[in-house]
Amino acid sequence: MLPALRSLHLLALHLLPRRSESGEMIKVAARRRRQPALRVLVLLAGVVLVVDAVPLLAVAGDRRTEALRLKREGETDDDAAIRINEEGKSLARDRKYYDALQKFLFALELFPLSNAIFNAGSMYHQLKQYAEAFPYLEQTLKAPLAPEQLEIVRQLRTGVLDKLKSTHRDVLLQSNPPGATIVVNGKTLPFQTPLRVLVEFGTTDIHLSASGFESEALVIEASPTKLPKDQSVRLKREEPVAQIGIRCPPGADVFIDGTMQGFEQARTRLLAGDHTIRCGKTAKSQAFERPIVVKRGIVNNFDFSSDKE
């Protein structure tokens, strides 16, 4: 089980008063920008948010490979993630935002560090990749933040929605059970349900899937005058079935678990597990039975065409 708590160093622009544990005011310095929109700057003064660790979906395989390469000998995944995340913050201080983003994403491949989740969203925002920033900011909002910290994240999120208001709307996706993988127009999102996601104007195809359950497909329509409705989906439990192919001797009827399924051959789907195949009597062979074991995830082919009895 993942550790319950991780620290998150909030990246922020505005000078906001914070209180330390001793009650002293801590100020987060920030550079003023020409644009009035909220911008992101790497932390100063060690302001810390305590945040629940949240599940992160694995992203590209090559990113995972690179993340493992960055680990030092004897270093655990979570320790490596913390170190790489700190390297990312150093790069962000030097305004190397793309390189910083890569570090944060590498860290998240090793461990779902809450710090890195928000930092990745902040860097996407800084790089003006607003749609990519949105799910990271949404995930950060699930954390038990202090009011002033929550306000900063909300301002970033509101800024993203404002930037995309001419092309997108947001919609809440919930599933029962929660924790379903979300695929929007063929792209797997980095976090699972429940999650508020962006949908573009027009038609958006969404697929929700979870291990042991059937996938659910949604089609969401959105436009400047048509707001999409939040979606709550109950996933159906997946029956453990698999496809099978049976061949009996020429001229033989094919029975599966006592029910006739074909003549000489049969193709169907069965529950995984033990079953009985019976090949009927022919002019050249006696009727016979054979036990089979059907396995999930493969096409199970059973050839008894040469058997006599």
CA–CA separation, 21 and 29 (whole Å): 19
Q: Phi, psi (5° rounding) for residue 232? A: -125, 120
Residue 134's pLDDT is what? 97
Task: Please say whether the beta carbons of 17 and 79 come within 8 A.
Answer: no
Question: Which of 203, 223, 238 marks a domain boundary?
Answer: 238
Domain, as residue range, for 225: 166-238
Given a cut of 80, whether residue 296 has pLDDT beyond it is: yes
Q: Phi, psi (5° rounding) for residue 27? A: -110, 135
Whichever domain contains 143, its CATH number is 1.25.40.10
Query: Do 207 and 286 reside in the same domain of the chain?
Result: no
Share of the chain above pLDDT 70, in %: 80
Q: Let me know if residue 308 belongs to a domain.
A: no
Residue 106's pLDDT is what? 95
Q: Which amino acid makes up residue 111? A: F
Residue 263's pLDDT is what? 92
Question: Which of 140, 165, 190 marks a domain boundary?
Answer: 165
Question: Which of 212, 238, 264 marks a domain boundary?
Answer: 238
Question: What is the helix (H) or strand (E) element at residue 207, kind and residue range?
Answer: strand 202-209
Query: Do 98 and 119 reside in the same domain of the chain?
Result: yes
Q: Let me know if residue 211 belongs to a domain.
A: yes
Q: Let me know if residue 9 belongs to a domain.
A: yes
Q: Let me know if residue 151 belongs to a domain.
A: yes
Residue 60's pLDDT is what? 55
Residue 4's pLDDT is what? 29
Query: Do 8 and 25 reside in the same domain of the chain?
Result: yes
Whichever domain contains 217, its CATH number is 2.60.40.1120
Q: Would you say the pTM of this structure is higher than 0.75?
A: no
CA–CA separation, 4 and 193 (whole Å): 19
Q: Half-sphere exposure of residue 172, counting CA atoms within 13 Å on the CB side? A: 5
Query: Do 265 and 198 reside in the same domain of the chain?
Result: no
Domain count, the chain: 3
Query: Do 5 and 121 reside in the same domain of the chain?
Result: yes
Query: Do 268 and 120 reside in the same domain of the chain?
Result: no
Q: By mean pLDDT, which of 53-67, 218-232, 283-297 is the weakest?
A: 53-67
pLDDT digits 0-9 by tens, 93-136: 999 999 999 999 999 999 988 888 899 999 999 999 999 999 99
Q: Let me know if residue 309 belongs to a domain.
A: no
DSSP-assigned letters across all residues of 247-276: E-STT-EEEETTEEEEESEEEEEEESEEEE
Residue 129's pLDDT is what? 96
CA–CA separation, 259 and 235 (whole Å): 31
Query: Do 183 and 81 reside in the same domain of the chain?
Result: no
pLDDT digits 0-9 by tens, 171-192: 999 999 999 999 999 999 999 9
In this prediction, residues 261-283 reach a mean pLDDT of: 91
pLDDT digits 0-9 by tens, 235-253: 988 778 889 999 999 999 9
Query: Do 56 and 130 reside in the same domain of the chain?
Result: yes
